[in-house]
């Protein structure tokens, strides 16, 4: 191959370069805000929260930036909820890698101040009809620095299934939960429906309550008014299952 041909080949974009997402500086900042929010609380920010963070005059400006990120394949927008933002592809891998780094560092650090440790019970399978924190539901306990959580959790719940995959919540993960009886639309909740306990995103309208999965393979659960229903808590953090092996 001649030098001219070699130079021409070196100037051509590689296969991976052609498929790299090109974001503006502002789009990158908003994507990082979404990633940080999910890593910290388990939920993406609302349009209003994005507008407040970046000084936009209205939530409409946030929506335009989100649509641009969706067109570029960094996120997916879900209609019907103020927090309907899902990470995709490399963005989802990035948040998982970030969580991995965070918890590896956490578990490798000494704990000189024992008063700052939280002792959290791990709830496994919840027995029908029993309070979620009943002793028979507790598998074991874990200690964590309280600074890991923006809001103090009361217990850990072992996640079963992949219905919340696109919110970064995977089978076997431990969801940090703050006990609560009420929730706002868009929050990820632990809900008791009949004899089952489930993790879903909460949405209430004037006429009904819906529990929304974060995986298109799963159906929305519409709560039957005749069926026993209660909110047990709010998701305030997540611990990846790979750190518990």
Q: What is the DSSP letter of 113?
A: -
Using a pLDDT cut of 90, give the percent of the chain over it.
29
Residue 205 has pLDDT above 80, yes or no: yes
Are the C-beta atoms of 191 and 229 separated by less than 8 Å?
yes
Q: Where in the chain is the domain with CATH 2.10.109.10?
A: 115-244
What confidence score (pLDDT) does residue 211 get?
Answer: 95
Place 136 in a pLDDT band, splitting at 50, 70 and 90.
confident
Buried b (16+ CB within 10 A) or exposed e, 10-30: eeeeeeeeeeeeebeeebeeb
β-pair type (117-123, 155-158): parallel
CA distance 143 to 197: 24
Q: Tell me the CB-side half-sphere exposure of residue 58, using CA atoms within 13 A.
A: 2
Give me the mean pLDDT over the 71-94 stretch: 75
CATH of domain 115-244: 2.10.109.10
- Residue ranges, comma separated, of all CATH 1.10.10.10 domains in the chain are 3-96
Q: For 18, phi and psi rounded to 5 degrees?
A: -65, -25
Percent of the chain with pLDDT over 70: 75
Cα dist from 41 to 61, 70, 92, 157, 239, whole Å? 24, 22, 15, 15, 11
pLDDT of residue 106: 45
Tokens linked to 129:
């009809």
Active-site residues, by number, are 163, 200
Q: What is the pTM of this model?
A: 0.56
Q: Is 55 left (phi over 0), alpha (psi -120 to 50) or beta?
A: left
Range from 63-72, 133-142, 201-210 carrying the lowest mean pLDDT: 133-142
Cβ pair 47, 66 in contact under 8 A: yes
> Is 8's pLDDT higher than 50?
no
Q: What's the CA gap between 161 and 172, in Å, rounded? A: 8
CATH 1.10.10.10 is the classification of domain 3-96: yes
> Does position 104 have pLDDT exceeding 70, yes or no?
no
At 170 the three-state DSSP class reads: coil
């Amino acid at each position: 191959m001649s030098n001219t041909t070699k130079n021409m080949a070196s100037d051509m974009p590689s296969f991976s370069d052609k498929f790299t997402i090109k974001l503006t500086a502002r789009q990158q900042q908003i994507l990082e805000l979404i990633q940080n929010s999910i890593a910290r609380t388990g939920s993406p920010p609302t349009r209003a929260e994005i507008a407040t963070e970046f000084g936009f005059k209205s939530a409409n400006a946030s929506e335009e930036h989100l649509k641009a990120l969706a067109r570029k394949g960094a996120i997916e927008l879900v209609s019907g909820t103020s927090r309907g933002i899902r990470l995709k592809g490399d963005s989802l891998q990035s948040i998982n890698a970030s969580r991995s780094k965070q918890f590896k560092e956490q578990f490798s650090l000494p704990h000189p101040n024992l008063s700052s440790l939280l002792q959290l019970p791990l709830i496994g399978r919840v027995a029908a009809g029993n309070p979620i924190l009943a002793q028979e539901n507790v598998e074991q306990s874990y200690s964590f620095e309280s600074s890991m959580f923006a809001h103090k959790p009361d217990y850990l719940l072992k996640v079963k299934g992949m219905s919340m995959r696109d919110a970064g919540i995977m089978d076997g993960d431990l969801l940090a939960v703050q006990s609560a009886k009420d929730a706002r639309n868009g929050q990820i909740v632990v809900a008791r429906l009949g004899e089952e306990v489930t993790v879903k995103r909460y949405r209430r309208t004037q006429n009904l309550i819906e529990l929304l999965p974060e995986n298109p393979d799963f159906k929305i659960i519409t709560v039957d008014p005749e069926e026993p229903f209660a909110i047990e808590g709010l998701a305030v953090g997540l611990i990846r299952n790979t750190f518990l092996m």
